[in-house]
Amino acid sequence: MVSNLELFSQLDLHSRCEEQIANETDRNLPYAGMILQCETLKRRYINCLHRPVGPTGKYNCHGLTFASRRTAMEGPAVEKLLSEDDYTEVTIDMVLPGDIVIYRSGPDVRHSGIVVRGFPELLILSKWGTAHEAIHGVDDCPYQGYKTFYRITDEPPRL
Amino acid sequence: MNLQDFDLTGASESYLLANTHLFLISRLQDDPVVQNLSRNFSSGEIRGVLRTSIQKGPDSLEEAVWPYILLVAIFLSGNFSDLQEAAGLPSAKLKWYGLVAATLLASAPPTNRMVVEISPGNLSEGVEWLNPPTNVVTVAEAGGQWSNLPTSVAVTSETKP
């Protein structure tokens, strides 16, 4: 492990269009009390499969969905990736494992996850903020809002 | 006022679950602890506590969310100048402080307060001196325009910041 890393830093992360995507990884150790709060969430969401990963600020839900768990991103970065990585919206009845779901509230991309079981009984793999990862029903999580599903496509590059 | 005096369970969960700073702001604005703080303490008092709280990096989840609680409480109090001062505090150990402060500043109507001393001699022509119980009124500038001026007085250039 490299030990001279900054507590907060940005990785080189590019879209398919080779544009830098804003991101930040937080290497602080989990604060006291975080594990207890995670346990509270696990008791509240008893139908979810809570993965023994986290709590950590090194990546968030968007980092899991778009950046292989390496960093955290905010809403504008997600919107940029949706545009530049050739994602196409799919209706809920067409959703397949491997598609992604975005939870929006107003202008904010509040949450995202990867579909691991498709329609009709959708299951999502996502990370809950700084807390742990969970596999959950699309509405069985702490995040509300308008949900949109996307599939990455293999369109010709836009030059 | 210190964080041990409050039940920060809800706010701590909001911080833990926040994927974005907008989520954190939204949840804290609805948090009863934050609302009570903004009602029961002046924005100046809250800013003083905030200044002290961010000098040391957080060791616990509650210490991590406490500065954001205070910042949002200042925002809810509506004092733009205190919010501006709070936004300028050094906060390198807090990952979202700058973003949260900038977002709150952008969504707050700029409001400045000014005390105006009024006497019969500096009323505009045609304005009647109504013998008010005090000759000092506080007016506010919201969104770049003076508002809340009592209709019975008119203010001339003699002002006291």
Give the domain ranges of chain A: 4-152
pTM, to two decimals? 0.81
Scanning chain B, the segments in alpha helix (DSSP H) are 9-17, 21-29, 32-40, 43-53, 61-77, 80-87, 97-107
Nearest Cα of chain B lies from the Cα of A131 at a distance, in angstroms, of 6
How many other CB atoms are found less than 10 A from the CB of residue B10? 16
Q: What pLDDT, on the 0 to 100 scale, is given for residue A28?
A: 87
User: Mind listing the pLDDT tens digit for each residue in A14-39?
Assistant: 999 999 999 999 998 899 999 999 99
Say if residue B93's pLDDT is above 90: no
Question: In the 8-state DSSP scheme, what is residue A32?
Answer: B
- Residue contact A131–B60, C-beta within 8 A: no
CA distances from A10 to A5, A25, A27, A143, B24 (A): 11, 6, 11, 26, 21
Query: What 3-state class would DSSP assign to A125?
Result: strand
Q: Closest CB to B61: pick one of A37, A108, A110.
A: A37
How far apart are alpha carbons B30 and B23 in whole angstroms? Answer: 11
Output the six-digit token pair for A155: 């369109």
Asked if B102 is an interface residue toward chain A (Cβ–Cβ < 8 A), one would say: no
- Residue contact A75–B20, C-beta within 8 A: yes
Cβ–Cβ under 8 Å, residues B101 and B54: no
CA distances from A151 to A70, A85, A95, B29 (A): 21, 10, 8, 34
**Least confident segment among A2-6, A10-14, B40-44:** A2-6
**Closest CA in chain A for residue B14:** A129
How far apart are alpha carbons B3 and A17 in whole angstroms? Answer: 46
Which one, of B145, B2, B140, B40, lies nearest residue B80 by Cα?
Answer: B140
How far apart are alpha carbons A59 and A73 in whole angstroms? Answer: 8
Q: Give chain A positions within 8 Å (CB) of B19.
A: 60-62, 72, 74, 110-112, 129
- Residue contact B19–A62, C-beta within 8 A: yes
**Least confident segment among A67-71, A133-137, B12-16, B104-108:** B104-108
Amino acid at B133: P
- Residue contact A109–B12, C-beta within 8 A: no
Q: What pLDDT, on the 0 to 100 scale, is given for residue B5?
A: 85
Binned at pLDDT 50, 70 and 90, residue A154 comes out as confident
Those residues of chain A whose CB sits closer than 8 Å to some CB in chain B are: 8, 24, 26, 31-34, 37-38, 40-41, 55, 57, 60-62, 72, 74-75, 105, 107-112, 128-131, 142-143
Question: How many CB pairs lie under 8 A apart between chains A and B?
Answer: 70
In our burial notation (b when 16+ CB lie closer than 10 A, e otherwise), range A105-117 reads beebbbbbbbbbe
Query: What 3-state class would DSSP assign to A105?
Result: strand
How far apart are alpha carbons A15 and A80 in whole angstroms? Answer: 8
- Residue contact B23–A108, C-beta within 8 A: yes
Question: How many residues can be counted in chain B?
Answer: 161
In order, the DSSP letters of B31-77 are: -HHHHHHHHHS-HHHHHHHHHHHTTS---BHHHHHHHHHHHHHHHHH
Q: What pLDDT, on the 0 to 100 scale, is given for residue B161?
A: 35
**Least confident segment among A19-33, A140-154, B135-149:** B135-149
Q: What pLDDT, on the 0 to 100 scale, is given for residue B149?
A: 47
What CATH architecture applies to the domain A4-152?
Alpha-Beta Complex (3.90)
Q: Is B23 exposed, middle or buried, given 0-12, 13-18 or 19+ CB atoms closer than 10 A?
A: buried
CA A118 from chain centre, in angstroms, equals 17
**Closest CA in chain A for residue B58:** A31
Q: Closest CB to A31: pick one of B19, B26, B58.
A: B58
Q: Give chain B positions within 8 Å (CB) of A60.
A: 19
Say if residue B10's pLDDT is above 90: yes
User: Mind listing the pLDDT tens digit for each residue in A59-113?
Assistant: 999 999 999 999 999 999 999 999 999 999 999 999 999 999 999 998 889 999 9
Which one, of B101, B95, B127, lies nearest residue A7 by Cα?
Answer: B95
Say if residue B139's pLDDT is above 80: no
Q: Give chain B positions within 8 Å (CB) of A57.
A: 95
**Closest CA in chain A for residue B99:** A74
